[in-house]
Amino acid sequence: MKLRKVTAASAVVLALAVSVTACGGDKKDDASGGGKKIKIGIKFDQPGLGLQEPDGSYSGFDVDVATYVAKQLGYQPNQIEWVQTKSADRENALQRGDVKFIAATYSITDERKEKVDFAGPYLLAHQDLLVKKGSDITKGTDLNKKKLCSVTGSTSAQNVKKTIAPDANLRPLSGYSECVAGLQSGAVDALTTDDSILAGFAAQDKYKGQFKLTGLKLSNENYGIGVKKGDSATVDKINKALEQMVSDKSWDKAVKDNFGPAQYKNERAPKIGDIVK
Amino acid sequence: MFDFLEGYDVLGAFWTTVQLTVFSGVGSLVWGILLAGMRVSPVPLMRGFGTAYVNIVRNIPLTIIILFTSLGLADIFGVTMGSQDFKIQGFRLAVLGLIAYTAAFVCEAIRSGINTVPLGQAEAARAIGLSFSQTLRLIVLPQAFRAVIGPLANVLIALTKNTTVAAAIGVAEAATLMKTMIENEAQTVAIGAVFALGFVVLTLPTGLLLGWLGKRLAVKR
């Protein structure tokens, strides 16, 4: 009897919860344009791209791009709600509708295109190496027998093992910050991931002038803006916004602001839909 | 439906998980018994050490302990566990961290078992002239163990799942492969389900077997 009551009660609660969320969902959909909020997914832990500052503000190239795009979609910066979307959670966040779009070092790949739609690309990055100033590492094969750090499971770590330097002593850690610390202390000889991310770290005040990028271009990473599968209207709007961002030079300014101190030689702004394999 | 599994050595990754579990399990059992012995010993210094160790270590998150073995022990103090290869080093450091952490829980499980042994048993052992270590070894621990097989099974199952934390320092176990696959395939739910199932397959028999054993061997009082 008691059990039955509990079941009935939880059924009621569940039904309420469903109806409440359903209402919430409806409201959110109305919010395109107008005076409401927009939720945008970024990384919170990547200096130069998407970083949550100690004071709670956000900085980085992805943030600048997203802010510009949001403005073209009719949202002022104070109407943006930034949501942290970690790499593993990006597809789900879009499918659930947690965020309108994601600008978070999101490389366009065939596998991902099956799950989400991409606008852009807005930046062509390459896998690269970050080494100490004065290091003797100048090409990919130099890495064999060297101590190399990357993030567990990342594409960059896989590339090293597969193609670049199979004999490298690879140390996968949980985050790039740990790797950078290891590079500074000499526990590893090099750190590998996209050059944009590396530039962001090298440009941080505490590391300024200590590291250099080798500029090896070990892969092509086409950063796109992830949008929920099938939402082609938003993709078109974002593409238009990106084109405008490039043509009015805001794009160049954003690159210079965020990667400038690292002497990062960025590629020119990619054309929309132009994916470099 | 499961074509995303192609090209990945899922079994190999789980084999590493099993190895981590076995090595850490044996190690933490040994270290845990020693700690439990210290905690009930008549020497205040050893009792103090045992108590302090258990209370400190079990209250530190495992992630921090594992990260410390790599970023602290290896990088700062140069403890490389006999290998410069990060792959081997990571595995050994992870086992070290898992032992240090799990032993605290093993110790407490065994100590609770010791508490189930009637005081008269120890008194009788003393009365026939056995020393403290003989009493513990021959009289108290054998009875204590049979009382705590169930709780120890819980610790072992927790340990099996805790091995995933080793992914933080790059040990190529199941969680590491899961991260790699999610990065490449963008199929979070399906991949997550496969790995969840893998862990159930590993831990469910452990629980059933040890539960059955615990019932059979329990000292009926």
Q: What was the pLDDT predicted at A44?
A: 92
d(CA B62, CA B164): 10
Average pLDDT along chain A, 277 residues, taken 10 residues at a time:
58 52 44 71 92 92 95 93 90 92 93 91 93 86 88 87 87 88 90 91 85 89 94 94 93 88 78 83
- A182 to chain B: which residues are within 8 Å by CB? 71, 75
Q: Of the candidates B176, B185, B188, which has its C-beta nearest A152's C-beta?
A: B176
ipTM, 2 decimals? 0.76
Average pLDDT along chain B, 221 residues, taken 10 residues at a time:
81 95 97 96 95 97 94 86 87 96 97 94 95 94 93 96 93 91 85 94 95 89 76
* Residues facing residue A171 across a β-bridge: A149
- Chain A residue closest in CA terms to B86: A171
Residues ≥6 apart with Cβ < 8 Å to B38 = B46, B47, B49, B50
DSSP annotation string for B167-203:
GGGT--SHHHHHHHHHHHH--HHHHHHHHHHHHHHHH
Chain B nearest CA to A111, separation (Å): 6
* Residues facing residue A213 across a β-bridge: A130
- A89 to chain B: which residues are within 8 Å by CB? 188
Q: What was the pLDDT predicted at A277?
A: 79
B105-114 exposure pattern, b = at least 16 Cβ within 10 A, e = fewer: bbbbbbbebb
d(CA B123, CA B217): 24
Residues ≥6 apart with Cβ < 8 Å to A214 = A128, A129, A130, A131, A137, A138
Q: Of the candidates B67, B75, B170, which has its C-beta nearest A172's C-beta?
A: B170
Give the A window 140-159 contacts with B, CB below 8 Å: 147, 152-155, 157-158
Q: What was the pLDDT predicted at A13?
A: 53
Q: What was the pLDDT predicted at A266?
A: 78
d(CA B72, CA B70): 6
- Contact between A89 and B87 using a beta-carbon 8 Å cutoff: no
- Contact between B183 and A173 using a beta-carbon 8 Å cutoff: no
Q: What was the pLDDT predicted at A29?
A: 43
Residue pointed to by tokens 């790797």: A179
- The model's pTM is 0.80
d(CA A123, CA B54): 51
Q: How many CB atoms lie within 10 A of CB A122?
A: 29
- Contact between B86 and A178 using a beta-carbon 8 Å cutoff: no
- Following CA atoms A38, A43, A48, A53 in sequence, which dihedral angle do they give, to the nearest 10 degrees? 80
- Contact between A171 and B75 using a beta-carbon 8 Å cutoff: no
Q: How many residues does chain A have?
A: 277
Interface test with A, best of B1, B9, B86 (most A CBs within 10 A): B86
- Contact between B176 and A169 using a beta-carbon 8 Å cutoff: no
Chain A nearest CA to B36, separation (Å): 34
Question: What are the tokens at B74?
Answer: 């290896």
- A152 to chain B: which residues are within 8 Å by CB? 167-168, 170, 176, 179-180
Amino acid at B107: C
A217 burial via Cβ count (<10 Å: 0-12, 13-18, 19+): middle
- B75 to chain A: which residues are within 8 Å by CB? 182, 185, 187
Q: How far apart are the first and last CA of chain B?
A: 54
- A115 to chain B: which residues are within 8 Å by CB? 186-187
Closest CA to B201 of B7, B26, B29, B10: B10
Q: How many CB atoms lie within 10 A of CB B139?
A: 18
Q: What are the contacts of B201-204 at 24+ separation with CB within 8 A?
A: B202/B14, B202/B17, B202/B18, B202/B21, B202/B160, B203/B157, B203/B160, B203/B161
Interface A:B, Cβ pairs < 8 A: 77
Question: What are the tokens at B104?
Answer: 């605290």
- Contact between A88 and B188 using a beta-carbon 8 Å cutoff: yes
Q: What is the DSSP letter of B1?
A: -
